[in-house]
A and B are shown apart, each in its own frame.
Chain A
């Protein structure tokens, strides 16, 4: 750990704190349909979309209509992405002549990717530069980066409306909310960010891959034969050229971060020098990851008429986030006791020190752990270092962030509605403690809401724990995909299903998840993890909107105080720990003890 590292972490957080209010207020205006400074340019496009799709912008939906529209859109756009991948070999903008995804043999990859991007997970079972044509990257993946994010924001706004309104069954119009989120929030921010990223060296072109002649012409490569067929001849082959992947990356990377999508243009995501070339591009992308989720706390405060409540929620999220950064930074800065003694693992002014396996020199330890924490606190899932190579406790932090439900700022919209589920649970528990009907911002919390809350909270652990357990019991389909043995192998599998069901998308990437079993089961986890939270949330929104407002009394638990923030943090941690402690103790916690005692696998 270094002073410079801490300074960069504090600087980042200060930026986030500064933007929360102006952006949050702007988003509230956008979703309330008020004029903003961008209306002059964007209003014509908005009108065009409404007219073309025959959407009446004044018409509002009840929660069932809202849900149906959401499902119809997810279905249509998801199916479109599936066929785009399968047919990409016949379509233009394919300079590398890549075949359709899943051809000739179907392994579930195109299904998995379609679900993955439609649910805002952006889990990547494939390597971008070796699989996807430029057309698929733009029309399929960039598109879903915008719209799966806009859908999540719409759901959060619908829930906030449900809390704020009374005695109505209308919670907004899905099409209108989704267009406004994409046009007024995501698009302008993406344009600015993409331009800044190109200035730092992120590529943006439609060229075929470049071939470079290497400077060291005597470079020889050893290509081992790993077929295991007994033929262990090592082939020596002269390598004197380097193929350099290209593509329209910046426009996609900008929205990948802003929409907390996280699906990379290249295989290694934001650790690729073309995807994240400099420390400044790293700061910009980090900032973009938590920008909208943080601002949502202010939007919440504004729309429900209690700004203090918004800040209390921000405080709860911020304290969990900073705790994660501190633990991860500490763990990754320490030496690995299994390395030989003549490796210098101590940080200095000229050396990053610490656990540098799977980390880039330009980012060092501090920027890597800050990213790992932010990307899993939000349901972003992009990486600038390889989580699979983290120390046991360093890797536990991103895993725990996902398992807690990605409510520490969380995904755009998804973090807000996820946290609101926990807030309702917290208020309910507080109500039970004093023995009166719990209420939240003037709305009574009753049996129906609690049923929906319980469904939303339990669906993720159900899929994570069941699929992990089944995979571990299957030597062929499940275990053979591991890249690491011992407890670390269990963590790889657990992380994959957590990332899927949590709609995160980051990975312990050693696990070979591009198999029929993992593509299918992770695909299912993503679907259920998305829609079995969204539907209960919309049901809560509809039900809350219909209620009367009760004036707060002496027995009302105030949701604007530090005490509330502490209780909220406690509920989030306890629910997570009760559910996942057993499996975590067999994975990262056991690995930490074994590593300290010098065991390797």
Chain B
């Protein structure tokens, strides 16, 4: 009984301290020191309308845009209110069929190179904002054709948007699809 009473008092007080004071005080601190990051690293257009987040991938299907990786988030993909992966295993017939279909479509757009693996595999979150530099390079011929610009101009834009490993050694090189496509619209409007 004594233990139960202590447990109730203990749970009550420590919940206030660790469950309310800590997260709320920290929210205040974060909002003061890193307001941009704490609010989702949002990207806005000139009118101040939110057009996405630097960190969250968006769906792009028009051939004049670089395409992101396949997504299993939500019913339609890239649903940033319902993140999710495909969770299909390596021997799943459904996975193999999906990859076969996607690979054929991709290959038709650029028969000259093999399709980089990240372009036909779904990410863990379904919101991966990046593709590999190889996957960006693979799409250059199609995007250049659609926009009527030279492959080398587009290539140098892609290089500019290629992020190296963080601090030179952490993670993998990558290209942020949303930021690249926004720049594409600005520099080479259709």
Q: Which residues on A are within 8 Å of B, measured CB to CB?
A: 4, 7-8, 11, 45, 48-49, 52-55, 68-69, 72-73, 75-77, 80, 127, 129-130, 138-140, 142-143, 146-147, 175, 179, 182, 187, 190-191, 194-195, 198-207, 209-216, 218-224, 237, 239, 242-246, 248, 250-252, 266-268, 271-274, 277-280, 282-283, 336, 338-340, 342-345, 348-364, 367, 383-386, 388-392, 395, 483-488, 491, 508-510, 591, 594-595, 599-601
Contacts and interface: CB of A to CB of B under 8 A. Distances in A.
A38 B59 CA distance: 48
A351 B133 contact: yes
A385 B128 CA distance: 11
A279 B170 contact: yes
A551 to B, nearest CB: 39
Nearest to A76: B7
A357 B121 contact: yes
Interface of B: 3-4, 6-11, 13-15, 17-20, 22-24, 26-27, 29-31, 33-34, 37-43, 49-62, 65, 69, 75-93, 95-96, 99-100, 103, 107, 113-118, 120-135, 137, 165-167, 169-174, 178, 181-182, 185
A356 B121 contact: yes
Contacts of B181: 215-216
B10 A340 contact: no
Contacts of B167: 280
6 contacts: A221-B75, A244-B56, A271-B123, A279-B165, A338-B91, A510-B87
Contacts of A252: 23
Contact of B51 (A138, A213, A488, A595): A213
A251 B99 contact: no
Nearest to A395: B89
A242 B4 contact: no
A109 to B, nearest CB: 16
Contacts, number: 407
A483 B58 CA distance: 26
B87 to A, nearest CB: 3
Nearest to A80: B11
A53 B17 CA distance: 14
A204 B25 CA distance: 11
Contacts of A338: 90-91, 96
B66 to A, nearest CB: 10
Given A242-B58, A245-B81, 4 more contacts: A75-B7, A187-B22, A243-B79, A271-B125
Contacts of A80: 11, 15
A224 B77 CA distance: 12
A591 B81 contact: no
A233 to B, nearest CB: 15
A267 B82 contact: yes
Nearest to B77: A221
Contacts of B107: 342
Contacts of B69: 361
B124 A268 contact: yes
A383 B87 CA distance: 13
Contacts of A214: 51-52, 58-59
B134 A139 contact: no
Contacts of A363: 171-172
Given A198-B30, A214-B51, A242 B78 contact: yes
Nearest to B13: A52
Contacts of A4: 165, 169
A359 B20 contact: no
Contacts of A7: 169
